[in-house]
Amino acid sequence: MAVIELHHVDKIYHLGKRSSSLREAIAQGTVRLVRRQRGEQTPPLHALDNVSFEVKAGEALGIIGHNGAGKSTILKLLSRVAFPTNGTIHTNGRLAALIELGAGFHPELSGRENIYLNGSILGLKRREITAQFDQIVEFAGLEAFIDTPVKRYSSGMYVRLAFAVAAHVRSDILLVDEVLSVGDVAFQQKCMTKMQELRDQGVTIVLVTHNLWTVESFCDRAILLNHGKIQAEGSPAAVVQAYRQNERDELVATTQAEATTSAPDTPAAANKDETVITRVEILDKDGQPKADFESWDSITVRVHYRTPKPIQSPYLVIRISRSDGLVCCRATNSREPDFSARQLAGEGVFEVLVGPLPLLPDTYNLDAHIADSQQPILHASSSKQTFRINGDLGEPGESGVFWVDAYWKSPEVSPTYSERPE
């Protein structure tokens, strides 16, 4: 049985059309009239465009997409914070929502008072809040601050208290936005454990997040939004793969556009008294600039720098990360005593041969850093370079960063050695 139903939902915003007084309304009307006479029209923003889907009771649905894709708009419509321009939305059961950091909190009230206030907003009676008060405070870990006004709370304390209240509401549907990323790692894990517990109890969960691993490991189904439309819907693994392919294609297009329009040198506005990395080149084995490589290829990174004062003990770092921010590997000069002893002065260049790289097909970012090995000083850094490892991203459900050498054997067949990709 579906507990959430969206049928052909549109949400259209008319940018700039908001007024809280007659004076503002007159002023904005005058501006619109002048723009209309000039032929200037601000097109409406379609936050959602003909969106339809259902969520069954007890199902965990993940919604992913780029910033501005319409993810949070869906949660706001479901929680009645906003209303659709067109289409219909039906929910069946008590709903609790954590869609905005500290929503429903009064800054002058204490944590204790806000638990009762926020619980009432979520539909709990006072005796229900009192029965779960100790559990809420313990979950949030704010025993020492529960009588402190929440205006003195950090953002992490805010979200801990807000999630604790929402998670302890006896609801049929729980809406959770990306605000969980504000908490520390230990609290994020605590939240995921609590949501797994709620899901096992039959609570329907709609989760908006950029954490693709969470979607794959926690959700039963996923939806990919792209500019307000549903681009993909189905198993989390397949939807995550479609999202990562989108990111890869957009990053490639952006990189190519920047390569044709941007000068490689550091902008003239750079402070001449500071050490700067003026240019980073990614080269193939023949020393030619390249952005496409195969798995197990080596790459040469050439770094151009300028430093007004000699750096006596340079610590040089090349770091490779995936497009989602996962750091895959790094190379430093710490194991090269001869090179580490060489000072950097004036304008110069250094190169490092990296690889062979057993990276899976994907798009990767390359960062270069110049630091000091004798003291914690970062002199300069650059993170503008991107390269690709060619090939398909793999089948839905496949993930990882590296190819690995492996031996496969069975009692009936002599051991064989896995072949590296050609």
Q: DSSP labels for 237-255?
A: HHHHHHHHHHHHHHHHHHH
Residue 58 near residue 199 (C-beta atoms within 8 A): yes
Residue 25 is predicted with a pLDDT of 59
Assigned architecture for domain 276-389: Distorted Sandwich (2.70)
Residue 62 is predicted with a pLDDT of 94
Residue 263 is predicted with a pLDDT of 45
Query: Hey, which CATH number is domain 2-6+51-246, 3.20.20.70, 3.40.50.150, 3.40.640.10, 3.40.50.300?
Result: 3.40.50.300
239: left (phi over 0), alpha (psi -120 to 50) or beta: alpha
Helix (H) or strand (E) holding 8: strand 2-13
pLDDT digits (tens, 9 = 90+) for 342-394: 778 888 888 889 888 898 888 888 999 888 877 777 888 887 788 888 877 66
Residue 169 near residue 119 (C-beta atoms within 8 A): yes
Domain residues of the chain, as ranges?
2-6+51-246, 276-389
Residue 63 is predicted with a pLDDT of 94
Helix (H) or strand (E) holding 139: helix 126-140
Fold match flag (2-6+51-246 vs 276-389): no
Q: Look up the pTM and report it.
A: 0.68
Buried b (16+ CB within 10 A) or exposed e, 39-69: eeeeeeebbbbebebebeebbbbbbbbbeeb
Residue 159 is predicted with a pLDDT of 82
Distance CA 313, CA 315 (A): 7
pLDDT digits (tens, 9 = 90+) for 96-134: 887 765 567 888 999 999 999 888 877 778 898 899 999
Q: Which residues of the chain are under the pLDDT cut of 70?
A: 15-42, 100-103, 179-183, 251-273, 324, 337-341, 393-399, 412-422
Contacts of 117 (CB under 8 A, 6+ apart): 104, 105, 106, 109
Local structure of 300: helix, strand or coil: strand
Residue 28 is predicted with a pLDDT of 61
Q: Which residue has the tokens 């049929």?
A: 172
Residue 135 near residue 168 (C-beta atoms within 8 A): yes
Residue 29 is predicted with a pLDDT of 63
CA distances from residue 385 to 215, 271, 280, 325, 363 in whole angstroms, order as listed: 29, 22, 7, 14, 11
Torsion of CA 98, 104, 106, 112, to 10 degrees: -60
Residue 268 is predicted with a pLDDT of 41
Give start and end residues of each alpha helix (H) in 311-394.
337-340
Helix (H) or strand (E) holding 212: helix 212-218
Q: What tokens does 191 get? A: 């939240």
